[in-house]
A = this chain, B = another copy of it.
Amino acid sequence: MDDLASKVLTGDARSIGRLITLVENNSPDAVKEMKKLHKHTGNAHVIGVTGVMGSGKSTLILELTLAYRKEGKKIGIIAIDPTSPFTGGALLGDRIRMMELSTDSGVFIRSMGTRGMIGGLTSAIYDVVEIFDAAGMDIIFIETVGVGQDEVDIVKIADTTLVVLIPGLGDSIQTIKAGLMEIADVYVINKADKPGVEQTVAELEAMLDLASHINWRIPIVPTSAKAKKGISLLIQKITEHQEFSKKGQTFETRRRQRYEAELIEIIRKRLMSFIFDENKLKGKVDCCIDQICKKELDPYSAADEILGTMLKK
């Protein structure tokens, strides 16, 4: 244990896995090691991949990974599956395909649930990104499934966000686009061998015509991940976005946002464990909840009391 961080910096797979487990278990040892890693981070390009269920995100990430591997790049994949917060589970077929990568020592895959007391992306994700980055991964993919808050949160972490759609979604596209619209750096129309691609592209283009652009017109890339089509064009667009970001303020602004979100998350987690610590506030909190249940105290006044106990001044 005495220097897990140094081993992570060499890219040692077992140490990476061990530190992630420590982080997920909120071990105090994890914090000690994490503190050593930060100054070695900042080189990985973080790519968020989001979109509707069944759009083939995993297969797309698989193909992108295989292509990046040919360039010798090291890849980290973080799969977040909010569809199974309790048990963790994905379609077996997807898992098997992802496992093809598991014998490649230049690829590291970690799947995480969205557990945690208060919603959003699991807080450990920031740590896993830092660990992968420090361990020398060149590209880190973060895959989120479904629509909702997770997709908004991913923007705070990713340098480039891919929104994956499929042709002919019709009404569904109407429903999701409001939320996904604003977070995309690149649109991917996957399963582009299916009918309706031209129409979906045309609809998106029309939508983009109406939106404002700050020098970056969001490209629309049709792919067929299963047939390995469109992957090199997609990589080209990702690279272009990366170059665009670094030329202007986008990259710096987003990194700042990520660190801000990470810092807030760490503070939130610490404060919550402070509140629920048996030796500190837990007794007071439990007593307040009892009183709230009996209507002797209201939640806002209870919060006043608890905060008064913990905060300076």
Binding site for B on A (CB under 8 A): 31, 34-39, 41-42, 53-54, 82-91, 114, 117-121, 126, 146-150, 152-153, 171-172, 174-176, 178-179, 181-182, 252, 255-256, 259-260, 262-268, 270-272, 274-275, 285, 288-289, 292-293, 295, 297-303, 306-307, 309-312
Q: A119-B152, A268-B271 are in contact. List 11 more A-B contacts (CB 8 A).
A: A38-B297, A38-B300, A42-B295, A82-B149, A255-B293, A259-B289, A260-B285, A267-B307, A268-B272, A270-B303, A309-B312
Q: How far is the CB of A46 from chain B (nearest CB, A)?
A: 15
- Partner of A300 from the list B31, B307, B311 (CB cut-off 8 Å) is B31
With A121-B119, A175-B53: A35-B300 Cβ-Cβ less than 8 Å: yes
A86 touches B149 (CB 8 A): no
| Copies in the assembly, this chain | 2
A119 touches B299 (CB 8 A): no
B266 touches A272 (CB 8 A): no
**What residue in chain B is nearest A94 (Cβ atoms)?**
B175
Q: How far is the CB of A234 from chain B (nearest CB, A)?
A: 25
Complex Cα distance, B149 from A240, in Å, reads 34
Complex Cα distance, B176 from A88, in Å, reads 11
Q: How far is the CB of A133 from chain B (nearest CB, A)?
A: 12
**Which residues does chain B contribute within 8 Å of A293, judged by CB atoms?**
252, 255-256, 259
A272 touches B264 (CB 8 A): yes
**What residue in chain B is nearest A153 (Cβ atoms)?**
B119
**Which residues does chain B contribute within 8 Å of A255, judged by CB atoms?**
293
- Partner of A307 from the list B117, B172, B179, B270 (CB cut-off 8 Å) is B270
A179 touches B263 (CB 8 A): no
Complex Cα distance, B289 from A303, in Å, reads 28
Q: How far is the CB of A122 from chain B (nearest CB, A)?
A: 10
**What residue in chain B is nearest A303 (Cβ atoms)?**
B266
Complex Cα distance, B117 from A228, in Å, reads 38
A306 touches B267 (CB 8 A): yes
With A267-B275, A303-B267: A298-B147 Cβ-Cβ less than 8 Å: no
**Which residues does chain B contribute within 8 Å of A176, judged by CB atoms?**
83
**What residue in chain B is nearest A52 (Cβ atoms)?**
B53
